[in-house]
Amino acid sequence: MPLGERAGDKSESRYCGIETEFNDDMPHVLAFNLSSGGFDFIVAPLMDPTYRPSLLQKDSLGSGVLPFAASDLVLSPAQWSSHVVGKISSWIDLDSEDETLRMDSETTLKQEIAWATHLSLQACLLPAPKGTSIANYARCVNQILQGLSNMQLWLRIPLVKPDDDCKDAKSDTLVDSWEIWNSFRVLCEHHSQLSIALDILSTLPSANSLGRWFGESVRAAIVNTDSFLTNARGYPCLSKRHQKLVTAFFNHSIQIIISGKSVHNIPKACVDSASYHDHSVADSQKHPLRPYLDYVAYLYQRMDPLPEQERFELGYRDFLQSPLQPLMDNLEAQTYETFEKDAVKYIQYQRAVCKALLDRVPDEKASSITTVLMVVGAGRGPLVRASLQAAEETGRKLKVFAVEKNPNAVVTLHSLVKLEGWEDTVTIVSSDMRYWTAPEKADILVSELLGSFGDNELSPECLDGAQRFLKQDGISIPSSYTSFLQPVTASKLYNDVKAHKDIVHFETAYVVKMHNVARLAPTQPVFTFTHPKRSNMESNLRYKKLQFMIPNDTGSALVHGFAGYFDATLYKDVHLGIEPSTATPNMFSWFAIFFPLRTPICVTPDSPLEVHFWRCCASTKVWYEWCVSSPSSSPIHNSNGRSYWVGL
């Protein structure tokens, strides 16, 4: 049964598994661990651990029956599929110097995977590499992946990163386990069915080092009973850092698997009292690891419910979308409706218009001066409404021109004006702002033409065209905006792009609600645009070279691409944006933008990541080009806008 109910969370992390020993009696193993223990699935060895192909004479198996745990008939196909993760024999060592062991390992791995496929298991747990030499292991796994249908292979990786602050007593290696994982997945060509099961030890690396894994394809976290502490009542519990890590796993749809033997003696005096939640200690007497499951469930149930905005955005998590082309295409009613629901954005615009009106019209002239305000790109009228509410709030008189090029939205605008009785105040103009000839100059120009990367929906070009009907001392809202960039590990996004098997998708920028990503360095500003423009000679072409440093305690990391954001100054101190450190709370109109790299680049803390970004302009289109020049060079992506551009 799931760990608990949490509003909005339907992810796999609600289910907790248990690692079991080899047992011929699979129905008993399931009944004991699921019915008595309360676990949701088992990670069970498929093959008798004493089996070695080389010890058998060719005919000694008689009928050729391999020593698997049980016939496929002892459980229903649904039980095998839903409740069993196959555990590949842990003795296998495909990079052993001993040729017999190596050959035995290869034969056994293939036999076990074939059996797991026959059982329709959803996943198999591969043993951790025995050393740093992994090429043959990766070769065999890669061969298997080529013919695998839907099954996932989870490579067991211990969560180890030795450094000055954190030495794990159990670790006899001084290798960062991320390096082993990275070599393995690169050898397997970043295959989307190869994932990670992290072995959580009693000592954890630094927060930055842990953060890398949230951009990787981690499917499970195996927590050994040795990692648990004992609380005042004698029950198992985890350190504060382990608790925080497990909670982060829940938030990233990573399942917990309890492993090992019970190392806690539950006090007999507590048998009649309640455990962490509804299960009594009597339950824990039936299954020795029940108290550990209860504690994990307690951590899950203690989490805050997902906020409403997060629940709304759940379906968009790590889903790649092409950015809007609002200049080239007319938006549909559904798109307008989604954006109009973002109350926070329009509150900020209303605040900005209020301040601009108060600055332009002193109190003593409030009744005699009428401010001319133009909403360029009025859509279905939310900015018109926000501006009129600002006029009412400040007691200022307003004359509004609502300029909109989408003829369908203009129909809605006319209805809105009639419905609200704005006929004397609002003039609707059905025209592209770049080509309209205004009957008078505006005091205030208001627009919402910003994209996830600030200028990527052609706000600069549109406002250049509209600037001519702004008074010399007129105010533009927004008055400026800056794009920001940061390198990210984003294994899922990379694999989704790679699935298209072409360069075009690697040279496209995507709008995406980033979730399973690791942000590897603080953001840096890229391009800034200011309105009104100081000079007509100023170009909208831009170029920026950026240098990112990975924090020292992170260790190496793989950069799959770059996350892009923006921050806009609407007017004076009123801002709007999605740059993580200054993001406007509870605003959902924009997700981040993702610029992929065709080949991911490995970075280390001692070598800066040097990135180049260009904003290029031609008569009919605007596009970005990007590349990395250090620590290794990438091709220049999207040369001449061959794959992705925004149409003028």
In this model, does residue 494 exceed pLDDT 80? yes
| Predicted local distance difference test score (pLDDT) of residue 61 | 52
Residue 99 annotated in active site? no
Among the listed residues 112, 448, 461, 507, the single catalytic one is 448
Query: What is the CB-side half-sphere exposure of residue 638 using CA atoms within 13 A?
Result: 24
Q: Are 67 and 316 in contact (CB under 8 A)?
A: no
Give the phi and the psi of residue 488 in degrees, each rounded to 5. Answer: -135, 150
Question: Do 274 and 297 meet the contact criterion of CB atoms below 8 Å apart?
Answer: no
Each residue's pLDDT tens digit, 593-622: 999 999 999 999 989 999 999 999 999 999
Let me know whether 100 and 177 are in one domain. yes
Give the model's confidence band at 12: pLDDT under 50 very low, under 70 low, under 90 confident, else very high. Answer: confident
pLDDT of residue 267: 60
Confidence at residue 498, expressed as pLDDT on a 0 to 100 scale: 96
Per the domain annotation, does 316 fall within a domain?
Answer: no
pLDDT score recorded for residue 58: 57
pLDDT in tens, 293-343: 999 999 999 998 888 888 888 888 999 998 778 778 888 999 899 889 999
Among 429, 448, 467, the domain-final residue is 448
- C-alpha to C-alpha distances, 297 to 7, 20, 39, 207, nearest whole angstrom: 15, 20, 11, 23
425 within a domain of the structure (yes/no): yes
Provide DSSP, 108-149.
Answer: HHHHHHHHHHHTT-SEEEEPPPSSS--HHHHHHHHHHHHT--
**Among the listed ranges 142-146, 275-279, 415-419, 537-541, which one has the minimum average pLDDT value?**
275-279
Contacting residues for 332 by C-beta, under 8 A, at least 6 apart = none
Residue 374 and residue 252 share a domain: no
pLDDT score of 60: 53
Q: Which of 439, 452, 487, 502 is nearest to 602 (CA)?
A: 487
Asked if residue 634 and residue 504 are part of one domain, the reply reads: yes
Distances (CA, A) of 184 to 3, 157, 190, 435: 33, 11, 9, 57
Torsion angle (degrees, nearest 10) of CA 29, 31, 35, 40 = 50
Rounded Cα gap, residues 126 and 197, in angstroms: 9
Question: In which domain, by residue range, is 620 found?
Answer: 480-647
Instruction: Mark whether 291 and 341 lie in a shared domain.
Output: no
Which long-range CB contacts under 8 A does 46-49 form with residues at least 24 apart? 46/86, 46/87, 46/88, 46/112, 46/115, 46/116, 47/22, 47/89, 47/108, 47/111, 47/112, 47/115, 48/22, 49/22, 49/89, 49/90, 49/91
pLDDT score of 416 more than 70: yes
CA triplet 467, 473, 477: central angle to 5 degrees? 55
- Token pair 């007129």 is at which residue? 474
Between CA 113 and CA 409 the distance in angstroms is 57
Active site residue 457: yes
Integer CA distances (angstroms), 616 to 21, 109, 509, 544, in order: 61, 52, 14, 12
Same domain, 419 and 488: no
| Within a domain: 470 | no
Q: What b/e sequence results for 605-643 when a residue is b if at least 16 CB atoms lie within 10 Å of its CB, and e otherwise? A: eeebbebebbbbbeeebbbbbbbbeeeeebeebbeebeb
Q: Evaluate the omega torsion of the peptide bond into residue 532 and state whether it is cis, within 30 degrees of 0.
A: yes
Q: Which of 16-20, 105-109, 531-535 has the lowest mean pLDDT?
A: 531-535
Residue 281, pLDDT > 60, answer no
CATH code assigned at 195: 3.20.20.150
> Which DSSP category does 462 fall into?
H
Tell me whether residue 406 is in a domain.
Answer: yes
CATH at residue 579? 2.70.160.11
The C-alpha angle 543, 546, 550, rounded to 5 degrees, equals: 160
Which pLDDT does position 284 carry in this prediction? 47
Strand-strand pairing, 574-577 and 557-571: antiparallel
* Residue 269, pLDDT score: 45
Is the CA virtual torsion 69, 74, 77, 83 positive or negative?
Answer: negative
> Which amino acid, residue 248?
A
Q: Are 181 and 196 in contact (CB under 8 A)?
A: yes
Helix (H, G, I), strand (E, B) or coil at 286: helix
pLDDT of residue 473: 94
Say whether both 250 and 365 belong to one domain: no
Q: How many domains does the chain have?
A: 3
* Catalytic position from the list 457, 461, 507, 579: 457
Q: What is the average pLDDT across 515-528?
A: 97
Residue ending a domain, among 288, 306, 324, is 306
Q: Residue 310: its pLDDT value, please?
A: 84
Compute CA distances 521 → 198, 488, 489, 609, whole Å.
Answer: 23, 8, 11, 10
Residues 386 and 256 in one domain: no
Give the pLDDT score at 237.
94
Lookup: tokens for 155: 């490579």
Secondary structure of residue 204 in the 3-state scheme: coil
For range 389-393, the mean pLDDT: 97
Same domain, 296 and 339: no
pTM for this structure?
A: 0.91
CB 381 within 8 Å of CB 354: no
CATH of the domain at 407: 3.40.50.150
Q: Is 366's pLDDT higher than 70?
A: yes
Q: What is the pLDDT of residues 463-482, one digit of tens each?
A: 998 899 999 999 999 999 99
Average pLDDT for 111-130: 96
Asked if residue 448 has pLDDT above 60, the reply is yes
473 in any annotated domain: no
Identify the three-state secondary structure at position 335.
Answer: helix
Chain CA centroid to CA 643, Å: 24
Same domain membership, residue 394 and residue 542 = no
Whole-angstrom distance, CA of residue 457 vs CA of residue 540: 13
Q: Does pLDDT of 642 surpass 70?
A: yes
For the chain, the first-to-last Cα distance in angstroms comes to 55
End of a domain among 257, 288, 306?
Answer: 306
Sign of the dihedral through C-alpha 401, 407, 409, 414: positive
Q: Residue 563 in 3-state DSSP?
A: strand
Reduced to 3 states (helix: H, G, I; strand: E, B; else coil), residue 351 is: helix
**518 and 416 housed in the same domain:** no
Mean pLDDT confidence for 283-300? 86
Residue 458 domain-assigned (yes or no): no
Q: Is 1 part of any domain?
A: no
Query: What pLDDT band is residue 285 in, cutting at 50, 70 and 90?
Result: low
Report pLDDT for 216.
97
Rounded CA-CA distance 298/387 in Å is 49
> Percent of the chain scored above 70 by pLDDT?
94
What is the DSSP secondary structure assignment for residue 354, as one 8-state letter? H
Q: Is residue 259 a contact partner of residue 19, using CB atoms and an 8 Å limit?
A: yes
For 143, the token pair is 């061969």
Region 196-201 average pLDDT: 96
Q: How far is Cα 116 from Cα 72, in angstroms, rounded to an integer? A: 10
- Mean predicted confidence (pLDDT) in 138-144: 98
How far apart CA 400 and CA 30 sit, in angstroms, is 70
The DSSP secondary-structure symbol of 34 reads I
Per-residue confidence band for 136, with pLDDT thresholds at 50, 70 and 90: very high
Residues paired with residue 280 on neighbouring β-strands, in sequence order = 274
Please check whether residue 423 lies inside any domain of the structure.
yes
Q: What is the pLDDT of residue 276?
A: 52
Residues 38 and 165 in one domain: yes
Q: For 154-190, how does the pLDDT look when each residue is reduced to its tens digit (9 = 90+)?
A: 999 999 987 644 444 444 457 899 999 999 999 999 9
What is the mean pLDDT of the segment spanning 476-501? Answer: 97
> What pLDDT shows up at residue 381?
95
pLDDT(63) > 90:
no
Which pLDDT value is given to residue 166?
46
Rounded to an integer, the average pLDDT of 120-130 is: 97
Average pLDDT, stretch 222-243? 94
Q: Are residues 496 and 415 in the same domain?
A: no
550: nearest Cα among 601, 624, 484: 601
Tokens matching residue 362: 């002193």
For 421: left if phi > 0, alpha if psi spans -120 to 50, otherwise beta; the answer is left
Q: What integer pLDDT is reported at residue 418 of this predicted model?
A: 96
Please tell me which residue, 477 or 56, carries the higher pLDDT value: 477
Mean pLDDT over each residue of the chain, to the nearest integer? 91
